[in-house]
Amino acid sequence: MIKPHNVFLLLTLMLCLSTPAFASLPSMAMNSSFTLKVDDKEAVMDRLVLKAEAVGGYFLVLSDQKLILNIPQPQADRFIQFAIAQGRVLTQTQNSDDIHTQLMVKESMLKSKQTMLKKYMTVLKESDAAHAVSVEQALGKLVYQIEGLKGDIKLMRHRLDFARISFHFRFRDRTTPSANQASSFPWLNRMKLPNLLESFQ
Amino acid sequence: MNTTSLGLLLLCTLLLSGCPSSTKHLEGNTWVPQGFAAYKAAKKQAAISPEGIVYNIRHEKNEPFAGLLFWKKAMKKRLLDTGYIFVAESDIQSKKQKGYLLELAAPVGKQDFTWLIALYVVNNKLHIVEASGEEKIFKQHRQAIVDAAQKVGDIL
């Protein structure tokens, strides 16, 4: 048996879904993490922060080995392509959470609590001194819940608007291979990459 | 056969013999990776891609005489000790021969290069197939190079 409260919630959800504001929101919160091996960590970090700012993003964490950025979702793929071209990717993880439904539930809860708040205000105006205290207590609880919901919604919308991209850096050793000692096997002494490349010059 | 036909035949033979040697080489040699052109080099079977990925087959004496297991260990140890970065290794199996495939990386100037080596040991000869180039471009040709290296085992 479907309760009237659930029907109301469902109808609110459907209404929310059909509104242009929801239609334009991405449905997934994106999180990506990369370990990059780079020659010059500081230079790469600077380039990534500058690029992030240029596309409307910003950095959350900028430490010795780690950089966490928030990048507008529509720019995220292009930004990642730019970032991975800065070095060699050692590890890469990408995940996305579908928080769209949770957001819609919170939005509908907020609307119903705001409606309830208006009713409580009316009741408060009409109530006598004896009942006013209990109505005020209920009002205080409701306002607290509404503020909490507003905070959650703001956070969730931000998570949908911005992809969080983390980078960990490793230094790439660019020492050219060189043999300090000759091998006991003569043909292995001739096995050198420069020899191969020079034979085509 | 009349003189006109004989003349035509001679003309055709002359024209055919004047064709560029690289085309003849590609068509006649299965060792050239797909998308590569045979590269003229002394005593070598060499090929190159349009972007400059190089491919080469050379032969060494099997001295001291040993099998594939011995040489693959010796080669890997030597190259890693020298400072090349290990990327991957596997067996390579042609229709006739079993070989060893070693993939390494090394910086060349400001770029990262891949160096792929296939080794076959046949009696008293070591057959070494090498290919190298900038790692991102190399990736695009990797399969063609491995396929060609595999075919080398069949024509030894």
Q: Are A55 and A163 in contact (CB under 8 A)?
A: no
Q: Which residue has the tokens 């109505």?
A: A135
Instruction: Identify whether A129 is part of a domain.
Output: yes
**What is the spatial distance between Cα B133 and Cα B141, in angstroms, rounded to a whole number?**
10
Instruction: Identify whether A109 is part of a domain.
Output: yes
Q: What is the mean pLDDT of residues B9-18?
A: 41
Cross-chain CB nearest to A196 (options B52, B78, B132): B132
- How distant is the Cα of A46 from the closest Cα of chain B, in angstroms? 19
Same domain, A74 and A119: no
B60 chain-A contacts, CB cut-off 8 A: 187, 190
Q: Which domains does chain B have, with CATH numbers?
A: 21-152 (3.40.1000.10)
Residues facing residue A72 across a β-bridge: A162
Per-residue pLDDT at B3 exceeds 60: no
Same domain, A166 and A146: no
Name the residue with higher pLDDT: A27 or B120.
B120
Q: Are A72 and A57 in contact (CB under 8 A)?
A: yes
Per-residue pLDDT at B131 exceeds 90: yes
Residue A70: give the domain boundaries. Answer: 30-98+161-171
The amino acid at A99: I
Per-residue pLDDT of chain A (201 residues; tens, 9 = 90+): 556 556 655 555 555 454 544 445 677 889 999 988 887 888 999 999 999 999 999 999 988 888 999 999 999 999 999 999 998 888 888 888 888 888 999 999 999 999 999 998 888 888 888 788 888 888 899 999 999 999 999 999 999 999 999 999 877 767 788 877 889 999 999 999 999 999 888
Q: Which of B45, B56, B75, B82 to mutate to test the interface with A (most CBs of A within 10 A)?
A: B82
Residue B52, φ and ψ in degrees, nearest 5: 100, 15
At B4, is the pLDDT very low, low, confident or very high (cuts 50, 70, 90)? low
At B15, is the pLDDT very low, low, confident or very high (cuts 50, 70, 90)? very low
Cross-chain CB nearest to B78 (options A39, A172, A191): A191
Q: Which residue has the tokens 């309760």?
A: A3
Q: Which of A44, A187, A198 to mutate to test the interface with B (most CBs of B within 10 A)?
A: A187
- How distant is the Cα of B84 from the closest Cα of chain A, in angstroms? 6
Instruction: Identify whether A25 is part of a domain.
Output: no
Least confident of A186-190, B82-86, B144-148: B82-86
**What is the spatial distance between Cα B12 and Cα B145, in angstroms, rounded to a whole number?**
35
The Cα-based distances of B141 to B34, B50, B53, B109 in angstroms read: 8, 11, 8, 21
Q: Are A50 and A183 in contact (CB under 8 A)?
A: no
Per-residue pLDDT at B126 exceeds 90: yes
> What is residue B110's predicted lDDT score, i.e. its pLDDT?
78
Q: Are A66 and A167 in contact (CB under 8 A)?
A: yes
Q: What is the pLDDT of residues B39-54, one digit of tens each?
A: 876 667 899 999 999 9
Burial class of residue B108 (count of CB atoms within 10 Å of its CB; 0-12, 13-18, 19+): middle
Residue A64, φ and ψ in degrees, nearest 5: -60, -45
Same domain, A69 and A121: no
Compute the Cα dihedral for A9, A14, A15, A19 and give only its sign. Answer: positive
Closest-CA residue of B relative to A173 is B107
Instruction: Identify whether A189 is part of a domain.
Output: no
Q: Per the structure, how many domains does chain A have?
A: 2
Same domain, A74 and A165: yes
**What is the spatial distance between Cα B54 and Cα B45, in angstroms, rounded to a whole number?**
11
**What is the spatial distance between Cα B150 and Cα B96, in angstroms, rounded to a whole number?**
10
Question: Mean pLDDT score of chain B, rounded to an integer?
Answer: 83
Q: Which of A44, A196, A198, A201 to mutate to test the interface with B (most CBs of B within 10 A)?
A: A196
> What is residue A90's predicted lDDT score, i.e. its pLDDT?
82
Name the residue with higher pLDDT: B21 or B125.
B125
Q: Is the peptide bond before A186 cis (omega within 30 degrees of 0)?
A: no
Same domain, A80 and A154: no
Both tokens of A61, joined, read: 């964490």
Cross-chain CB nearest to B75 (options A39, A177, A191): A191
Same domain, A147 and A118: yes
Cβ–Cβ gap A176/B84 under 8 Å: no
Cβ–Cβ gap A200/B107 under 8 Å: no
Cβ–Cβ gap B39/A200 under 8 Å: yes
Q: What is the 3-class SS of B24-62, one letter each residue? A: HHHHHCCCCCCCCEEECCCCCEEEECCCCCEEEEEEEEC
Same domain, A39 and A137: no
Same domain, A88 and A139: no
Instruction: Identify whether A187 is part of a domain.
Output: no
The Cα-based distances of A77 to A82, A169, B60 in angstroms read: 9, 20, 49
Residue B155, φ and ψ in degrees, nearest 5: -100, 10
Instruction: Identify whether A88 is part of a domain.
Output: yes
Same domain, A45 and A117: no
Cβ–Cβ gap A193/B84 under 8 Å: yes
Edge-to-edge strands of the sheet including A58-62? A58-62, A66-72, A162-171, A28-38, A88-98
**What is the spatial distance between Cα A30 and Cα A37, in angstroms, rounded to a whole number?**
23
Cβ–Cβ gap B83/A178 under 8 Å: yes
Instruction: Identify whether A52 is part of a domain.
Output: yes
Per-residue pLDDT at B122 exceeds 90: yes
Instruction: Identify whether A200 is part of a domain.
Output: no
Cβ–Cβ gap A199/B61 under 8 Å: no
Same domain, A48 and A144: no
Per-residue pLDDT at B27 exceeds 50: no
Cross-chain CB nearest to B78 (options A88, A183, A196): A183
